[in-house]
Chain A
Amino acid sequence: MAIESEVLVIGGGLAGLSSALAAAREGADVRLLSYKQSTLRNASGLVDILGYTHDGDGPLTDPYEAIPELPSSHPYRTVGVDGVREAMAMFDDVTDYRGDHTDTNALLPTHGGTVKPTARYPRGAAAGLASDDRDVLLVGLGSMVDFDAPHVAAHLEAAGVPFEARGVSIEFPGDLRADAKVTRYAKLLDTNGEVAVGGRMVGARDALADAIEPHLDGEARVGLPAILGDDHPDAVRAALGDALSVDVFEVPMGPPSLPGLRLEDALFEAVDEAGGNFETGNPVVDYAAEDGHIEEVYIEKNGARIPVSGDQYVLATGGLVGKGVESDREGVYEPIFDCHVPHAEDRYDWFDLDVFGDHPFARFGLPTDEQLRPLTATDSVEFDNLRAAGGILGGYDFAAEKSGSGVSIATGHAAGTNAAQEAR
């Protein structure tokens, strides 16, 4: 026998979670399998739909307006503008993200000092909008070298933001070890745990506010790297804001990212609440199929092969970085079901000589039919009960377009919904 479900989702990132959530909301019995913990903790936590066109024009004001202009191979064209809207409505329903009041992209400062067009952003980033004309004080922590506040401030001003930005660097109070983990800062702030300052013990929130206060020079808002709490970020920001009489915001950081962790928690909770099941820790390595129909897949646990089956399957294992698509010197392939990945025979044709050029590898991934079922080299469906979602799909360059999260949510929602309807 196998461990059975109606819809089996393989992959625990944004696309897998969106698939599982959509399928569970359709009433299907869903199981999500993730090799490791969700890679969302490596994501900034910003959720973009489309920031630039296929040809690099932008930043775009209205991503929905640009979708019909994308090439027909783009996953957004498969799910359509309405599909994207439905998916974003589901996302808005289960998160407390901002930006859902408008179709227009928001502009958010990044930790590199650039400005990024994005469709949704965490509440913690809201006071940092680059379209806001209030002056900003950016506060970096000496030990967190990924966020050099004076440098970021200078960059933002050079990018032409409509406010003055100033950056200072302070030490996080309490003399923590130089390479303290982001979770250590977050935990101290969550619990307002005591730190030693000048020989006495002070709550971490108060101590941090005290350390920032002398640097304020009339700015109405203060930005810090995203370390302000894991379980209670709203309370941490509010406490700092009250103490300093300013609006406090977080600047999303590189991995490991607390906004990504918080989003991961919110989505797993939503899947749980919708009745979905999940397990992590071991990879799906193989499958059994008959007549183009997948019967079951196998999880590998230290030599044991655990059979798991579904009526319908969603493959959301990511792209080249997420290892859902692999490559070697011979070719590019999808490792679990060996679905067809179109690519040039000569590997020297996989990339462009210009670093920022138009790299074919960036669009490597699975081609699908209108139901997101992967296609063979001759355009027939690989398996009648397999759909694909997210980074594993071909035909788009998420890094250049700023479309990674949106494609994952939209195709995940569509694949999960279709799979559930088929299974019921």
Chain B
Amino acid sequence: MSDAESPTEFDPTAPNTGEDFEPVDVFPDSDDFDLRPGADSCYKCSTCDTNCPVAEVDDEFPGPKFQGPEQWRLKQNEDDYTIDDSITDCSNCMRCDNACPSGVPLSQMHNTARGEYVSEQMDKLSVEYVRNRILANYRTSATIASKVPRLANFAMNFGPARWVMEKTLGVTSEREFPAFAKQTFREWWSSRGGAAASKENAQQARERRGQDRDADKKVAYFHGCYSNYNTPEVGKAMVRVFEEYGYEVVVPEQRCSGTPMFANGMLDDARRGAEVNVSSMADLIEQGYDAIASCTSCSMALRQEYPELFDIDGIDEVAANTFESVEYLRIHEDLKGDLRAADVEGDLAREFAYHAPCHARNQGLERQSVELFRDLEGVGIEDVGESCSGISGTYGWKAEKYEKSMKIGDEMFDHMDDASGDTGMTECPTCAMQMEHGTGYDIRHPLELLEAALVE
């Protein structure tokens, strides 16, 4: 009830990255993002804790409320406070972000704490660190393996080799490594004629659709590692669907989006990739392109994690102009109407058990596949519910986390089993691995179904 001077204005419902907000300058030496407004916004309702798939099965895990705002406060108050090692049990599903009614940037706090733990407290010679670094830098191994896909596919799943990997590196031998494609997406893209061919295709499509041949419809494709090395059919479907709608596609230079690196606290590795990605996307965005990803974790990284964790020139423009591929078409085209008028025959005329990846949720995309495909003739789709698949990228590959990962996944496996279809569908490559691992189903990407429905 005092008439004291009005405090600096800030909106506690929006994550504040510290650019425009200067609270009382309590931590003048820190050059990190200011997480204090986020910590102050937490009123401890514990809604985040009820969303945490790990806390539900793991007695040791203290949950997101502790990992985020509480640990952050402890760190401010005690000089010798070290980050609790339970931070490595957080799987970075980011569900807590979507849960918080108060806009606390929980995943940003987790990523920051995990980065600090790994860089300052983790033994760089430990097996765990080496293992995590290898897993997080999947692109590096994939680049080599994709040069000799047949040999790699054999060697990676060769029993004795896997036993050694589990014993020496702690990579579970329960899972089968995904197969490497004989031709990567980028190899296919160049052999097809690259951007010039895409422009030609797009112009023809525009004429067919009665649009201006030179309309300004162009997108830059962020394919990510998995579509490139493992499932090029997803990337090809993306290109064909977008061209069908008259979009020219370019495929700029890119590195890993950083998703597995954030989850393993390897923020320096992630930053190096982010610098390349932001720089190539920012240039194109300036020329009028929008950035499109087919993997929901990749689009999540570019949209949310980059601006939350790094200060790179052009990063906000890239975040604001990045979209998930199907979302983009929903905004700019009458995708729903076109699908209502279409039908699917042949290989993909199936019943799908659809799982929404956790990273699709924060982007508001958890229902778009169900919404689009439930009116599509020739196919069926059923949402298998809101449970997490449990693999969370590299998490479920670690020997010590394998069992936990499967416990989390149990609910999804049950629901997939109950669903009438026996083909899975999801946007996320590692959710797909888990779905296949738990049920034996063939797993497809929504873009493949869009291609089957809309492209001749």
Contact = CB atoms under 8 A, between A and B. Distances in A.
Contacts of B13: 283, 323
Contacts of A3: 330-331
Nearest to B321: A304
Interface string A1-27: 111100000000000000000000000
Given A255-B46, A256-B45, A1 B383 contact: no
Contacts of B338: none
Counting chain B CB atoms within 10 Å of each CB, the highest count among A278, A283, A302 belongs to A302
A78 interface: no
A36 B101 contact: yes
Nearest to B317: A303
A181 B46 contact: yes
B59 interface: yes
B99 to A, nearest CB: 5
Interface residues of A, number: 42
Contacts of B59: 174, 176-177, 180, 184
B333 A1 contact: yes
B56 A255 contact: no
A244 interface: no
A99 to B, nearest CB: 26
B334 interface: yes
B100 A183 contact: no
A129 interface: no
A282 B50 contact: no
A182 B410 CA distance: 19
Interface string A243-286: 00000000000011000010000000000100001111111000
A282 B304 CA distance: 12
Contact of A177 (B60, B101, B361, B383): B60
B98 interface: yes
A181 B364 contact: no
A375 interface: no
A187 interface: yes
A304 B323 contact: yes
Contact of B320 (A177, A302, A323): A302
A272 B383 contact: yes
Interface stretch (A37-45, A79-87, A108-116): A37-45
A36 B332 CA distance: 25
A11 to B, nearest CB: 12
B333 A282 contact: no
B50 A182 contact: yes
Nearest to A31: B371
Interface in B210-239: none
A301 interface: yes
Nearest to B48: A256
A4 B337 CA distance: 10
Nearest to B303: A302
A299 interface: yes
A303 B319 contact: yes
A42 B45 contact: yes
Nearest to A261: B50
Nearest to B304: A302
Contact of B62 (A4, A177, A191): A177
A306 interface: yes
A176 B62 CA distance: 11
B55 A1 contact: no
B98 A181 contact: no
A179 interface: yes
A195 B363 CA distance: 37
A301 B366 CA distance: 14
B424 interface: no
Contact of B56 (A4, A174, A181, A299): A181
A36 B366 contact: no
B45 A255 contact: yes
Interface of A: 1-4, 33, 36-37, 39, 41-42, 174, 176-177, 179-184, 187, 191, 231, 255-256, 261, 272, 277-283, 299, 301-304, 306-307, 323, 329
Given A1-B334, A176-B59, A183-B50, 6 more contacts: A33-B364, A36-B98, A181-B63, A183-B49, A280-B366, A282-B362
A-B residue pairs, 4 tightest by C-beta: A303-B320, A279-B364, A256-B50, A281-B364
10 contacts: A3-B331, A177-B59, A187-B57, A231-B411, A279-B364, A281-B98, A282-B362, A303-B319, A304-B303, A304-B320
